[in-house]
Structure formats: structure tokens, C-alpha cells
């Protein structure tokens, strides 16, 4: 799998539940609304105060049930006038899934991806595929065949390189992409693959799925000497 270009500057944020600091793209922002309600801000664009979490769905469920999340939010946001719905973890999951489908739709409109088993196989064998994706209900033999074509075109025969199975079936993908019968998708452009990979990384990571295969694709080599990681002062980490 080809790597996306490194970013020169990375915003670092702290997870309020674990205390760990990392690339903000790996975290999910919870925004405090003017009504005192906390809601997921998966684009990290909502105005006002917010806090960051970098845990799985199960861990967030546990933090909500134990009152840990509420306590951390009150401490970080420095207010007791805070509330959030009991289904906050599900709201985060729904928002991440929606963002991924929207991103796939945008890349389809920009002609950055192709669909259809024959087209995908041809592009894969020619080495023109940056990222290979399968619908959740794609047949196993179809996935295996295209995975092998991708390995051949990537000079990676004998490796574990394979397409990623999306958490959406063909009907959901077809609706999002504005096409019919979308079962297999090939992303042709490296940057488009990195953009889609980021949304996949966030959604699947939140669901507790191993997303290490996407790390290089999305984040590149974060330890590269030329990389400058800008960490904001602790007071600005919200």
C-alpha cells in the first residue's frame, strides 16, 4: 500500500479519559453547546468549548455508565452545567458512519473512485489502485479475486495486502455514491485514499476494529525527522 504524503504540522490534543496525547485526527471532539448539551463534533468545527476522547465505543459506553465522562467533562470545561444524552456513544458512531458515507459520495462525484468488479480488477492489475474497498455483503470469492489482483498490480504477491471490508452493504454504498450495485470500490488517487482512509480509521477504530493497516495510508511516517508536531499548551487542549 502506497503511503500518503506526510503532514508538516500536526495538532496534538489530549484524551480526557486516558490522558494520552496524540494527533487530533485520531480523536473525537465533544462540543459543548450554548444549551449546556454535549454532542459529537466529528469534524472538529463547532464553535465554543469542547473536549477530546480517543477511546473505543465499549470504553466510552463504560465511561458514560460509570459517570466518568461527565466528571471529566465538568473538570475540563470548568462548568457543572453539562448534560448529554444516554445514547451519546451511539450518536458518535452514527456521526462517524455518516461522515464516511458522505466522503465516499464526494470522492465519487470528483471521479476519484471506480466501482464494478471488472473495472476494479483491470485497474488493480495495472497497479492503478491506491485503496481497495468491499461492501459488507460482497461475496468472499469476489473479494479474494480482487485482493489477489491488487497484490499482483502492487508487486505484493505473497503478502497479506487485501481490500478493506466496509461497514456498509451494497445498497448503502450505492445510495451514497449515486450508482447502482456498488459492491467493490477502487480508489485511484493517493490523496483521495488518505482522505477516505481517515474516516475509515476513525469509524472502525471507534468500533474496536484493528485499523493498523490504515496507519501509514492516513498518517504516513509520523516519526520522520522533517516532521514537526506542534503541541498546544495544556490550557489550550480543549
Q: How many angstroms separate the CA atoms of 144 and 190, rounded?
A: 23
User: Which pLDDT belongs to residue 221?
Assistant: 53
Q: State the cell numbers at 151.
A: 497484490
What's the pLDDT at 155?
Answer: 96
Long-range contacts of 79-82 (CB under 8 A, 24+ apart): 79/32, 79/36, 81/36, 82/32, 82/36, 82/38
Give CA 87 to chain center in angstroms.
21
pLDDT of residue 47: 93
pLDDT number for residue 145? 97
Q: 164-198: per-residue pLDDT in tens?
A: 999 999 999 999 999 999 999 999 999 999 999 99
CB neighbour list of residue 8: distance below 8 Å, 6 or more residues apart: 226, 227, 228
Compute the average pLDDT of residues 83-96: 94
* pLDDT reading at 28 higher than 70: yes
- Cα 112 to Cα 224: distance, rounded to the nearest angstrom: 28
Amino acid at each position: 500500500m502506497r503511503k500518503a504524503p506526510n503532514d508538516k504540522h500536526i495538532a496534538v490534543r489530549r484524551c480526557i479519559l486516558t490522558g494520552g496525547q496524540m494527533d487530533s485526527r485520531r480523536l473525537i471532539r465533544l462540543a459543548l453547546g450554548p444549551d449546556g448539551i454535549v454532542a459529537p463534533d466529528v469534524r472538529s468545527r463547532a464553535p465554543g468549548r469542547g473536549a477530546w476522547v480517543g477511546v473505543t465505543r465499549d470504553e466510552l459506553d463504560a465511561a458514560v455508565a460509570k459517570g466518568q465522562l461527565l466528571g471529566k467533562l465538568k473538570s475540563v470545561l470548568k462548568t457543572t452545567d453539562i448534560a448529554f444524552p444516554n445514547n451519546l456513544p451511539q450518536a458518535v458512531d452514527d456521526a462517524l458512519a455518516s461522515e464516511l458515507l458522505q466522503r465516499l459520495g464526494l470522492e465519487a462525484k470528483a471521479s476519484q473512485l471506480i466501482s464494478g468488479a471488472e473495472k476494479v480488477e483491470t485497474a488493480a492489475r495495472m497497479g492503478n489502485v491506491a485503496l481497495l474497498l468491499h461492501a459488507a455483503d460482497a461475496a468472499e470469492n469476489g473479494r479474494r479475486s480482487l485482493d489477489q489482483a491488487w497484490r499482483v498490480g502492487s508487486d505484493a504477491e505473497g503478502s497479506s495486502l487485501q481490500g478493506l471490508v466496509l461497514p456498509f452493504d451494497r445498497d448503502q454504498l450505492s445510495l451514497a455514491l449515486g450508482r447502482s450495485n456498488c459492491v467493490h470500490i477502487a480508489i485511484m488517487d493517493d490523496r483521495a485514499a488518505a482522505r477516505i482512509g481517515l474516516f475509515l480509521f476513525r469509524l472502525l477504530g471507534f468500533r474496536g476494529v484493528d485499523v493498523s493497516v490504515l496507519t501509514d495510508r492516513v498518517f504516513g511516517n509520523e516519526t520522520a525527522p522533517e516532521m514537526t508536531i506542534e503541541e498546544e499548551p495544556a490550557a489550550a487542549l480543549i
